[in-house]
Amino acid sequence: MTLLSIAFICAGVFFLLMGAIGLLRFPDFYTRMHAAGKCDTLGILLVFIGLALYGGLNLSSVKILSIGLFIFVTSPTATHAIARSAFKNEMPIWTKEEN
């Protein structure tokens, strides 16, 4: 069970790191948001599943999974709200240069 939780936590940290690199390197606001929203949700969910498996079946792990469920609902909602606010303000969209 400990090895399984280590595998889950390592996968989650990998996704968090890739999301951070995407947030750093992408050229446009919308592409950055694409990297930040999805990688963060999946990474944090995998880390929480790993921590709950490490703790075993008790009240703490149920609470950790409920926080994970909350983030699974709210993080895409927040990302959608920010992207909608940017799109309504006519933020320019990055296109490939023709040259």
User: Which residues of the shown chain bind another protein in the complex (CB under 8 A)?
Assistant: 2, 6, 9-10, 12-13, 16-17, 19-21, 23-24, 27-29, 32-33, 36, 40, 44, 47-48, 51, 54-55, 59-60, 63-64, 67, 70-71, 74-75, 77-79, 81-82, 84-86, 88-94
CB 65 → another protein: shortest distance, Å?
11
Q: Which is nearer to another protein, 4 or 91 (CB)?
A: 91
CB 99 → another protein: shortest distance, Å?
16
Q: Which is nearer to another protein, 24 or 57 (CB)?
A: 24
Q: Tokens at residue 59, please?
A: 């009240």
Q: Which is nearer to another protein, 4 or 60 (CB)?
A: 60
